[in-house]
């Protein structure tokens, strides 16, 4: 039997740890392959499902479907949060990965408007909404799963690997889009070529299912179930009643990252293609290279947030949004591959400071009994409202003002709000015990030090209210 850490998890060198991290992250990887593909290929897909004499109208319609897929994610959080808190985290992770793989593959097989008329955009919308439901349950469950397996001092690091799954999926989506665009003519891409990358989702989901089927649920959840401390019949109501302050604070803090990430992923490559003087393949290739450079820094960000705390990194990231995003957009007007790449690397600096600490912060704030539900709702609300609409809002702003800098004003305003909420409302969570959701900033509680191996929490503590950190 492998040794366990102070919080009941295997040490970092244990082979079980590696499998656990991969299993927890693979769903995020597959989910964001689809997000990346849809965002990158939206200009090509637009005329297949929304034929119009005005390409901008078709593109906005395609982005609208993209946004609706995000807007239903809170529904997935409600459904799968209940299952995750009552039945187990593993059950949710197995279900969501199957649903995501099937829906993404079906998009690749879906006939276009010219074949089945209005049924084509209707079915595309249905599939995107089903994906949204699955994604709404996946992310909160995966973060909870990894946070509960990680010992104190490693939670940010584990979330760093989960974030690698997110951005790694986007990288694969970018790579598939770039490769397909480079190998096929524009006519072939518009006709059938855009479908090919979507068809890879099914074998990837099968591999993910195999990985997740071979893991146990988290020691923390199993301990709660043994002691009769699983969620009550209405974990959603318990969450809204006891965690509403945390949810409101997190929404205000997270909205900046929600827009920041998806303007970069889904809108900026399209702008570089249509307005930035680059070819379609060069625009998306620059995005892929930037993603590849960024990936190892996600683990570094997680490690650093375990050392200096979530709050200092998040505050720094908000300042960087105000200062560096306008600089990034200025560089993007250079109309060369090098300027496009440099612009995106500058743009990723605030992402480095925000993405991983934000993902670790929320599940650390809440108790085991409602951790999946709270984390799912906490992420799905701001990300459904702000991520899914990001390319739509960016396209509309630039179309209205004629300037890419209008997006800077949108992002800058959100960053100021997030900065103030984090500064005055956030409690530091990096250095305390995860036990029953009680986060402290001092030494480990004596009860934790004497707990039996595999035990991750003691009697429930009062749920902490957000306060100045």
pLDDT digits (tens, 9 = 90+) for 41-79: 877 887 788 776 666 777 777 777 877 877 888 899 889
Rounded Cα distance between 331 and 342, Å, is 7
Assign 233 a pLDDT band (cuts: 50, 70, 90).
low
Is 267 or 227 the better-scoring residue by pLDDT? 267
- CA distances (Å), origin 27, targets 32, 83, 139, 260, 389: 9, 17, 8, 22, 23
Encode pLDDT of 75-121 as tens digits. Answer: 998 899 889 988 889 999 999 999 999 999 999 999 988 888 888 88
- φ, ψ for residue 275, nearest 5 deg: -125, -20
Is 348 or 382 the better-scoring residue by pLDDT? 348
The two tokens of residue 453 are: 């191996």
Q: What pLDDT does residue 117 have?
A: 84
Encode pLDDT of 388-443 as tens digits. Answer: 788 888 888 988 988 889 999 999 999 999 999 999 988 898 887 775 444 433 33
Range scoring the smallest mean pLDDT among 56-65, 175-184, 317-326:
56-65
- The tally of CA atoms less than 13 A away on the side-chain side of residue 132 is 25
Rounded Cα distance between 174 and 185, Å, is 18
Rounded Cα distance between 443 and 266, Å, is 43
DSSP state of 464: P
SS (H, E, C) 394-459: HHHHHHHHCCCHHHHHHHHHHHHHHHHHHHHHCCCCCCCCCHHHCCCCCCCCHHHHCCCCCCCCCC
The two tokens of residue 259 are: 């827009």
Assign 15 a pLDDT band (cuts: 50, 70, 90).
low
Residue 201 pLDDT > 90:
no
- 9-43 burial, b for 16+ CB within 10 Å, e for fewer? bbeeeeeebeebbbbbbbbbbbbbbbbbbbbbbbb
The two tokens of residue 45 are: 């897909």
Is 257 or 69 the better-scoring residue by pLDDT? 257
What is the average pLDDT across 291-317?
A: 94
Q: What pLDDT does residue 6 have?
A: 39
Rounded Cα distance between 437 and 245, Å, is 15
Q: What pLDDT does residue 50 have?
A: 78
Residue 133 pLDDT > 60:
yes
Task: Specify the pTM.
Answer: 0.77
Our CA angle for 357, 362, 363, nearest 5°, is: 105
Q: What pLDDT does residue 436 have?
A: 46
Q: How many CB atoms lie within 10 A of CB 93?
A: 28
DSSP state of 387: I
Residue 229 pLDDT > 80:
no
What is the average pLDDT across 115-139?
A: 88
DSSP state of 341: H
Is 459 or 318 the better-scoring residue by pLDDT? 318
CA 403 to chain centre: 28
**Alpha helices (H) along 50-72:** 55-71
Q: Are 255 and 382 in contact (CB under 8 A)?
A: yes
Is 417 or 185 the better-scoring residue by pLDDT? 417
Range scoring the smallest mean pLDDT among 3-12, 218-227, 414-423:
3-12
Is 343 or 463 the better-scoring residue by pLDDT? 343
Provide the phi-psi class of 438: left if phi over 0, else alpha when psi is between -120 and 50, else beta: beta
Rounded Cα distance between 35 and 368, Å, is 30
What is the average pLDDT across 236-246?
A: 85
- Mean residue pLDDT of the chain comes to 82
- CA distances (Å), origin 248, targets 44, 96, 128, 374, 421: 38, 26, 27, 11, 10
Our CA angle for 380, 27, 198, nearest 5°, is: 100
R_g of the chain computed on alpha carbons: 22
Is 454 or 402 the better-scoring residue by pLDDT? 402
Q: What pLDDT does residue 59 have?
A: 74
Assign 186 a pLDDT band (cuts: 50, 70, 90).
confident
Q: Are 458 and 451 in contact (CB under 8 A)?
A: yes
Residue 355 pLDDT > 90:
yes
Is 233 or 398 the better-scoring residue by pLDDT? 398
What is the average pLDDT across 341-353?
A: 96
Rounded Cα distance between 427 and 51, Å, is 50
Assign 346 a pLDDT band (cuts: 50, 70, 90).
very high
In angstroms, the first-to-last Cα distance of the chain is: 39
If you search the block for the tokens 């929320």, which residue do you land on?
A: 362
Is 95 or 368 the better-scoring residue by pLDDT? 95
Is 460 or 63 the better-scoring residue by pLDDT? 63
Rounded Cα distance between 73 and 68, Å, is 9
The two tokens of residue 267 are: 């809108």
Residue 322 pLDDT > 90:
yes
Encode pLDDT of 244-253 as tens digits. Answer: 899 999 999 9
Rounded Cα distance between 278 and 363, Å, is 41
Q: What pLDDT does residue 441 have?
A: 35
Q: What pLDDT does residue 225 have?
A: 82
The two tokens of residue 321 are: 């949004």
Which one, of 469, 260, 248, 246, lies nearest residue 354 by Cα?
Answer: 260
């Amino acid at each position: 039997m492998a040794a366990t850490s102070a919080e009941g998890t295997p040490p970092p060198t244990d082979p079980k740890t590696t499998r656990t991290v991969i299993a927890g992250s693979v769903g995020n990887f597959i989910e964001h392959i689809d997000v990346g593909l849809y965002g990158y290929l939206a200009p090509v897909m637009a005329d297949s499902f929304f034929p119009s004499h005005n390409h901008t109208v078709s593109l906005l319609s395609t982005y609208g479907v993209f946004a609706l897929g995000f807007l239903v994610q809170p529904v997935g959080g409600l459904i799968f949060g209940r299952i995750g808190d009552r039945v187990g985290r593993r059950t949710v992770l197995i279900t969501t990965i199957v649903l995501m793989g099937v829906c993404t593959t079906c998009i690749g097989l879906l006939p276009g408007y010219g074949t089945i008329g209005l049924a084509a955009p209707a079915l595309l919308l249905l599939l995107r909404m089903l994906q949204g439901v699955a994604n709404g349950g996946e992310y909160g469950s995966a973060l909870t799963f990894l946070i509960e397996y990680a010992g104190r001092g490693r939670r940010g690091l584990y979330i760093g690997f989960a974030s690698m799954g997110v951005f790694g999926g986007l990288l694969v989506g970018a790579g598939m889009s770039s490769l397909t665009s480079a190998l096929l003519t524009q006519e072939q891409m518009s006709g059938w070529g855009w479908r090919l990358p979507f068809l890879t989702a099914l074998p990837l989901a099968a591999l993910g299912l195999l990985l997740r089927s071979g893991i146990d649920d988290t020691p923390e959840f199993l301990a709660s179930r043994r002691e009769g401390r699983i969620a009550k019949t209405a974990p959603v109501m318990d969450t809204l009643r006891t965690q509403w302050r945390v949810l409101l604070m997190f929404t205000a803090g997270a909205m900046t990252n929600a827009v920041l990430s998806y303007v970069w992923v889904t809108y900026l490559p399209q702008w570089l293609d249509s307005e930035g003087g680059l070819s379609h393949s060069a625009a998306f290739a620059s995005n892929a290279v930037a993603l590849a450079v960024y990936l190892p820094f996600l683990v570094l960000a997680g490690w650093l947030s375990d050392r200096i705390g979530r709050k200092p990194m998040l505050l720094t990231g908000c300042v960087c949004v105000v200062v560096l995003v306008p600089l990034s957009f200025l560089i993007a007007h250079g109309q060369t591959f090098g300027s496009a790449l440099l612009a995106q690397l500058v743009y990723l600096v605030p992402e480095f400071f925000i993405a991983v600490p934000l993902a670790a912060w929320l599940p650390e704030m809440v108790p085991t009994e409602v951790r999946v539900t709270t984390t799912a709702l906490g992420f799905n609300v701001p990300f459904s409202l702000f991520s899914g609409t990001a390319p739509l809002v960016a396209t509309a702003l630039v179309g209205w003002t004629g300037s890419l800098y209008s997006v800077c004003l949108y992002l800058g305003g959100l960053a100021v709000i997030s900065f103030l909420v984090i500064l005055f409302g956030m409690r530091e969570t990096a250095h305390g015990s995860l036990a029953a959701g009680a986060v402290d900033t001092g030494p480990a509680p004596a009860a934790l030090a004497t707990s039996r191996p595999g035990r991750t929490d003691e009697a429930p503590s009062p749920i902490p209210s957000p306060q100045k950190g």
